[in-house]
Amino acid sequence: MSAITLSHVSKFWGAMRAVDDVSLTADEGSLLVLLGPSGCGKSTTLRLIAGLEEADAGTITIGGVDVTHLTPAQRKISMVFQSYALFPHLSVAENIVFGLRVRRVSRAERDERLKRVADIVGLSHLLERKPSQLSGGQRQRVALGRAIIAEARVCLMDEPLSNLDAKLRHEMRTEIRALQQRLGMTMVYVTHDQTEAMTMADRVVLIRDGRIEQNGSPEELYNRPATAFTARFIGTPPMNLVRQGDRLIGIRPEHIRIVAGGDHVVRVKAVEHLGADSIVLCEIDGQPISVRLDGFSKVQPGENVGIAWDAGHEHRFDSTTEVRLEHIVKEGRLAASDR
């Protein structure tokens, strides 16, 4: 059993609540992502699970065992940090098996595990090299190998891809997800990058100011954001939010069309060509709005164009609390449609 459960966990730094009454569960064998902006408390939450910080309130269980007051070693977990934390004077092989040597695992078992793990992370041909002779992606694989070789059922990752370029991040997030599924580990993964969260997670916990903003599948956070904060944070570009009286009307950029005679006339401020699609940045009633179009858009900055969207794609939030409104009032709606 390797499910992780936090129940009403809090951590205070003086008068500040770094983690405020957080309750969540990472199911056995699943990948749960803690997502949020810098300073929101996601890394502190991970450190509480690891035992690197002690909770001021609440309980933490791993595999049904209360570990709230246990040391990190007693929790039987592995961890990968943002920094690779490799010993520069040791070879790849020596870095990977370092923890086993400290725990006095026999040489025969170390060698057996090393061979298996090196094959899994694709480092069999690099075992004699030093970290300075490796690329960023290869160094990250060494850190992953060191976590895997411990054979812990729980693996915690704190922004492990932040130091890599965009291409390597794409490759490594695919590899990490495949490894997690192959080995059946329960993984908690911290990131500020919503793309990593959406592409890797079974479940995403979005954190804001130490509290859980929304907890659900990637699809739920994207298609049914519980708050305007979630709507703004998830999606590239984020959801458009247009104020209308006591409501915020939300519409995804891909659900807006540029049409002749559209219900709303907007002024184009800029166009970003991304290859497969284009982002047209506009202004409506003094408020910014983004439109996502397939291919290379011929719309030009400074041009006035009509836009439309289907009412069924609208999301509504209270303008004061920014909480999602489930009951849509159709009278006086800002919805647009083709004529």
Q: Are residues 125 and 209 in the same domain?
A: yes
Structure-block tokens of residue 248: 């915020």
Each residue of 107-155: pLDDT tens digit?
Answer: 999 999 999 999 888 899 999 999 999 988 899 889 989 988 988 899 9
Distance of CA 92 to the CA centre of its chain: 29
Domain final residue, candidates 223, 246, 270: 223
Who's near 165: CB < 8 A, 6+ residues apart?
A: 136
| 39 and 123 inside one domain | yes
Q: What is the pLDDT of residue 244?
A: 85
> Is residue 62 a contact partner of residue 155, using CB atoms and an 8 Å limit?
no
Measured CA to CA, the distance from residue 12 to residue 20 in angstroms comes to 8
- Look up the CATH number of the domain holding residue 331: 2.40.50.140
Mean pLDDT of 314-335: 71
What was the pLDDT predicted at 151? 85
pLDDT at 48: 98
Domain count across the chain:
2
Cβ atoms within 10 Å, residue 63: 16
Question: Are 257 and 312 within one domain?
Answer: yes
pLDDT range class, residue 332, cuts 50, 70, 90 = very low
Measured from the Cβ of residue 339, the count of other Cβ atoms closer than 10 Å reads 10
The pLDDT of 57-74, averaged and rounded, is 96
Rounded to whole angstroms, the Cα distance separating 170 from 75 reads 31
231, pLDDT greater than 50:
yes
pTM of the entire structure? 0.88
Q: What is the C-alpha separation between 297 and 221, in angstroms, rounded?
A: 29
How far, in Å, CA of 212 to CA of 203, rounded? 13
Residues 211 and 73 in one domain: yes
Encoding tokens for residue 24?
């969540």
For the chain, give the mean pLDDT: 91
Mean pLDDT over residues 63-82, rounded?
92
Q: Angle, to 10 degrees, between the axis of helix 92-102 and the axis of helix 136-148?
A: 20
> Tokens for 332?
């006086």
Q: Please check whether residue 48 lies inside any domain of the structure.
A: yes
Nearest to 190 by CA among 43, 48, 9, 31: 43
Helix (H) or strand (E) holding 107, with range, is: helix 107-121
Shared domain check, 63 and 197:
yes
Residues 80 and 117 in one domain: yes
**CA distances (Å), origin 243, targets 45, 74, 250, 288, 319:** 34, 52, 9, 11, 7
**177/297 same-domain check:** no
Helix (H, G, I), strand (E, B) or coil at 307: strand
In terms of domains, do 205 and 322 share one? Answer: no
Mean pLDDT across the stretch 295-303? Answer: 93
- Answer for the pair 92, 142: CB distance below 8 angstroms, yes or no: yes
Residue ranges making up the domain that contains 250 = 238-337
CA geometry: angle at 48 spanning 46 and 49, to 5°?
65
Three-state SS for 261-279 is: CCCEEEEEEEEEECCCEEE
Q: Answer whether residue 30 is part of any domain.
A: yes
Intra-chain end-to-end CA distance of the chain, in Å:
58
What is the rounded CA–CA span in Å between residue 99 and residue 88?
16
Least confident of 99-103, 159-163, 249-253, 288-292: 159-163
Mean pLDDT, to the nearest integer, of 211-223? 97
pLDDT band for position 161 (50/70/90)?
Answer: confident
Q: What is the pLDDT of residues 197-207, one digit of tens each?
A: 999 999 999 99
State the CATH number of the domain containing residue 140: 3.40.50.300
The pLDDT-based confidence of 57 (bands split at 50, 70, 90) is: very high
Altogether, the residues listed in the chain come to a count of: 339
Cross-sheet strand order for the sheet of 257-258: 257-258, 304-308, 264-273, 277-284, 287-294
The answer to whether residues 243 and 218 belong to one domain is no
What is the torsion angle, in degrees rounded to the nearest 10, for the CA atoms of residue 62, residue 65, residue 69 and residue 71?
-60
Do 103 and 164 fall into the same domain?
Answer: yes
153 and 45 in one domain?
Answer: yes
Same domain, 310 and 262: yes
